[in-house]
Amino acid sequence: MQTLIRLYRPNLAFLLGLCAAAALAFFIERQTAEFSYDPQSQRGFESLPPPLPLAQQFPLTEADMQAARTAWAYVAANTQWDTGFVNAVDGYPSATLWDLGSYIFALVSANRLGLVEDSEFDRRARLLLSSLETMPLFEGLLPNKAYDTRSLAMVDYTNAATEGGVGWSAIDLGRVVAALKALRLHAPRLTPEIDAATQRWAFDALVENGTLVGAARDPDTGASLRLQEGRLGYEQYAARALMTAGLGASRAASAAGVVRWTEVEGIPVPADRRSHHRFDAITTTLSEPFVLMGLEMGWDDDAWREASQIFRAMQSRHLRTGTLTMLSEDHVDEAPFFLYGAVLGNGEPWVALAEDGSRHDALRSVSLKAAFGWEALLGAPYAEQVKSEVMAKTATPSGWLAGIYESDSRPNTALTLNTNAVILEALHYKMFGPLVPPGRI
């Protein structure tokens, strides 16, 4: 078992890296740019091979349960009992709304797996919901992108309190909506508290003309801006979740108008045809949103085929090069501290991109949470191989590290909520299936 290294670097570069996902809300597009959705952009989709078979559900092994206990150890060590929030990174008292959704999914998963007794589950859930009911909102409309987990103060990208907040993320809030749906289904007794927690939220502000809308501050004037939000995978994931709340996000829920099929390793993979040159946002094809969609809501037919092609491409690269390949978004333990490891990124294969579009391929990593997710969803031997090899180097007494680096197989010592939450979700899926079964969305 590896010695625990706490990822807590109180400097501006680290803080900016930590909040990269919150700061630009998973690929914001400038509102002034125009884009024409093309319903014919899925040409070639019909010629793809059938999707990979889905894994069946089975009771967990003792090794699975030990993996779950290790993942829950992160949550136990990073809970702020004054607020009910959980730190996004070990020892660092900040969290985005994406992280909040991760915690709720982890809590439901841990309770169903028998790691958390009902009494502790209720205590945690009710404390969190009480905080959601009273915490400050951006412009009084929706939760801010990030909060101090100790005080629930709205914070900026350095975790400094800011009275007005910095904006909201429709992508992150979609994740929270899906997580609260899972909580409601698992514990109907909490329905009154869930309703009270969200009754102030102006959900209608999240969708316009079927697309997702985020909010941000103009960096020069501080004025509040409304921006289209989302790129391939993340956009569809959040839109499906928001539609469960009755929002008309059908345009964003389908990738049909934005996808372009591009060969990588001889495998057609989905790519976002919105140019990163024209729009001020990186474009990536990677595991995260597809794995989460499968674990949490189940794949629809399109997502199932898109996900299958992404997995096939990663497996094909491994077969060709011998390089263990499992790419997703992850914190990393050196600057820039957060990267999108992508099958395709800004049109280039096998890259690691920072939010500003800069490449850091030397820090391309093998994602443990992605391996857990793919193995749970597909039962594929390659996913099991990756999972086993990475697990051997990433277990700590306080949770699972993010993964290993491709270049030399050394551990990526970032210790985060998202890694450990997704592992719990994956183990839940192995035994029970999606947290929000398709028939109950």
Say how far apart CA 115 and CA 121 lie, in whole Å: 10
Q: For residues 93, 75, 324 and 370, what is the CA-based torsion angle, rounded to 10 degrees?
A: -100
Please tell me the total count of domains within the chain. Answer: 1
Domain assignment of residue 187, yes or no: yes
Exposed e or buried b for every residue in 152-172, given b needs 16+ CB within 10 A?
Answer: bbbbbbebeebeebbbbbbbb
Contact assessment for residue 345 and residue 336, using Cβ atoms and an 8 Å cutoff: no
Residue 6 lies in a domain: no
In a domain, 100, yes or no: yes
Per-residue model confidence as pLDDT tens for the chain (441 residues): 222 222 222 333 334 444 444 433 333 344 434 455 555 545 555 689 999 999 999 999 999 999 999 999 999 999 999 999 999 999 999 999 999 999 999 999 999 999 999 999 999 999 999 999 999 999 999 999 999 999 999 998 789 999 999 999 999 999 999 999 999 999 999 999 999 999 999 999 999 999 999 999 999 999 999 999 989 999 999 999 999 889 999 999 999 889 999 999 999 999 998 866 555 679 999 999 999 999 999 999 999 999 999 999 999 999 999 999 999 999 999 999 999 999 999 999 999 999 999 999 999 999 999 999 999 999 999 999 999 999 999 999 999 999 999 999 999 999 999 999 999 999 999 999 999 998 766
Residue 386: inside a domain, yes or no?
yes
φ and ψ at 327, to 5 degrees?
Answer: -105, 135
Query: On the CB side of 170, how many CA atoms lie within 13 Å of its CA?
Result: 35
| 242 within domain boundaries | yes
CATH of the domain at 402: 1.50.10.140
Q: Residue 189 in contact with residue 119, Cβ under 8 Å?
A: no
In a domain, 3, yes or no: no
pTM over 0.85: yes
